[in-house]
Amino acid sequence: MKKALLALAAMVAMLINGCGGASLIDSPEISMVVMDTASVTITWDEDTLIEGHADFSGYNVYVYTDSSELLVEDGEDLNKDNANVITASTYTIAGLSQDPVYYIQVRTLNIDDKVGDYNANVPFVEASPRPEFTATLSFELDPANQNETEIALRFADAAKLDEVDGQIDSTADVFFDAYQDSMTQVASPDNRTNPVQINPKHTVMVNMGQMNFDDLSEAPSTIDNANVDFEQGDLIVLKTEEGNYVKMHIDEVLKAPDWTVTVTYAYQNIANYPHFSP
C-alpha cells in the first residue's frame, strides 16, 4: 500500500511539473553567414521569446556535410560543434576544408540539456570556406612587346604570371590590359588575338560597378563577358573555365607612369557554387 501511494505521488508530481521536465524551446533563424579561409561564422536572430523563456539554457551548433542528417525532430543524437553551451547569438566554426559544402544548423538547449527541434523557416544554411587573396599586377601596355612581367593572374594561388615571347602561361585565368593611354581592362586569356595564345583558358566576367567587397554575397545569374573595363572601386564577378566563381574588388589603379592594379578577391574552390557569403 505504501509503495502504491508513493507511485501515485510521483505521478501527480510529474503531471504538475509537465511530465517531461523542462520545456523544449523553439530554435532561432540563422540570419547571416560569413565565410573565411578556413572558417565560417554564423549569426542568428535574437528572440526574446526564446532567450526569455524560463527553461532556456543556450544554443548548440551542428555542422554536417549531408543536410538530410540535420532534418530530424529529435536532435539528441546529433554531434554538436561547440564544446560549451553557446549563450551569444554568433558562433565561429573553425578548422574547415575548402573542398566540401557544409550544412550548418543552430538549435536551442533547455536547462535539462534537452535539444529543441530545428527552425522550420531556416532549417540550415550552407557554406564553404574560400580563401581571399590580395595581389598587385602590372598592365600589359604594348602588344608589340613580347615580354611583359606579372600581367596575368592565376586565381587558385594568386600566382602572378608573365608574358614570354608573346604567350601568357596557359594556367592564367585573367590578364590585365591598359589601352588608349587611360582605359583599363581585365580580360580572358583566350580574348588575346595578337599573338594567338596556346591552349588559353576561357574566363567570363561581369562588372557590378562601384561596390564594396562585402556588398555582394552571391554571384549574379548572368556572367558572359570575355572582358570588362574597370576603374578603382569596381567589383567584378568572374567564372573560371573550371566553373569556380571569383569575387574581385579593384582596390587601387595606378596609371602612368606606374601602370599597376591591386585587387582583392575571394576564390570559391567548389565548381558552380555561387555563394560568397549567403
Find the distance separating the first CA and the last CA of the chain, reported in whole Å: 64
pLDDT at residue 196 is higher than 50 = yes
- One-letter amino acid at 89 equals S
**pLDDT over threshold 90, residue 12:** no
Q: Which of 16-25, 137-146, 224-233, 236-245 has the lowest mean pLDDT?
A: 16-25
Contact call for residues 29 and 121 (beta carbons, < 8 A): yes
Q: Give CA–CA dist 261/176, Å, rounded.
A: 8
Provide mean pLDDT across the span 176-202.
Answer: 86
pLDDT of residue 20: 56
pLDDT digits (tens, 9 = 90+) for 26-35: 999 999 999 9
Phi, psi (degrees; rounded to nearest 5) at 146: -85, 0
pLDDT at 5 over 70: no
The pLDDT, as a whole number, for residue 165 is 87
Q: Is residue 9's pLDDT more than 80?
A: no
Does 93 score more than 70 pLDDT?
A: yes
Average pLDDT over residues 122-129: 95
Set out the domains of the chain in order of their start, with CATH numbers: 22-127 (2.60.40.10), 132-267 (no CATH)
In a 10 Å sphere around its CB, with 0-12 CB exposed, 13-18 middle and 19+ buried, how is residue 69 labelled?
middle
Average pLDDT over residues 122-127: 96
> Which of residues 195 and 14 earns the better pLDDT score?
195
Give the residue-averaged pLDDT of 148-161.
96
pLDDT tens column, 36-73: 889 999 999 989 999 999 999 999 999 999 999 999 99
Average pLDDT over residues 82-104: 96
| Mean pLDDT rounded to a whole number for the chain | 90
